[in-house]
Amino acid sequence: MIDSVHSYAFGLGTKNSEGEIIEVYYPKPQIHPSKTEIQRLMEISNLEDTGFIELSDKHIARVRSSIEEGMFSDHTEIFERISQKATIVLMVQIADSSPKSIPEAFLKLHLLSHRLAKPNSINLDGLFGILKNLAWTNQGPIDLMDLPLRQLEARTNGNLLSIQSVDKFPQMANYIVPSGVRIADTSRVRLGAYIGSGTTIMHEGFVNFNAGTLGPAMIEGRISAGVIVSKGSDLGGSSSTMGTLSGGGTELVSVGENCLIGANAGIGFPLADGCTVEAGLYVTAGTKINMLNENGDLVQIAKAKDIRSIKNLIFRRNSLSGAVECIPDASSVSLNEELHSHN
């Protein structure tokens, strides 16, 4: 008997012309459900391992009966509004294993964007290979093999099928808008991004899946996959963070609390709390740093990855020698509270 479940959700699926599910929208994903819910899920689905089922009329009746008994209350609205044409999916993930299906992949992305799981905390191995490359349109996702006919149908009916992107990942805001955020251009935040309350993402900001912010932050640069930005930090215009692993090693790239990465600057190593990287300077994990004391005297030379735990440093490039330096910073970065208090 299954007595623990990592996560589950009821969702609305989209199929292609061959009847394959290509995408799923989960309004209320759940993580670590109660034993009572687990027992009922197993009774409804007859699943013995991680998997999904398409709900038949009998399944739907059973779920509605369970809702009347006080279970699955978060899913009441979906079962009040579904039509007979809808594809209703129940996805149950017994353990946090790598995704094996499109419904499972979309559940994992929803868990991240619903703030139920933080970046790098769930297994996403093989996710990219599971997802289909789709046309994301004003009529929803469309399989690329179906796209020419759908475009023709739209035109012959006097309509225009508008394509926003052709990609494996949709924009997050078409599935969930987390509370307390501002996103100037929603196309630049993928489903699977974790956006903390108080975050502002300006037009040039970008947040990939399995990446994001843990609290108030100003994002005008790029947060690559696997990168976490802690509260109170500011990524300046067109700044960058290097994707998931630093230099192909095992070190996750992250930005500490109250940091500033200047315009057109970037990092490829974990940046400790209270650090500043001057505009235009890209510091990789292997960058040699001249470490200076308060008087500007050279103390030692170290690689950036070896000083990742030292807080309150200013990273800069010497305009005469071209060497990358860091000096202690007694001050700390603070965000403009007025910009973030009304999200």
Q: What residues act catalytically?
A: 220
Looking at residue 125, its amino acid is D
Other CB atoms closer than 10 Å to residue 281's CB: what's the count? 20
- What DSSP element (H or E) covers 9? strand 7-15
The secondary structure of 209-261, three-state, reads: CCEEECCCEEECCEECCCCEECCCEEECCCCEECCCEHHHCCCECEECCCCEE
The residue among 111, 326, 287 whose CA lies nearest residue 209 is 111
DSSP one-letter code for 301: E
Residue 307's SS3 state is helix
d(CA 86, CA 213): 34
CA neighbours within 13 Å on the CB side: how many for 336?
6
Q: Which residues of 101-119 are buried (b: 16+ CB within 10 A; e: fewer)?
A: ebbbbbbbbbbbbbbbbeb
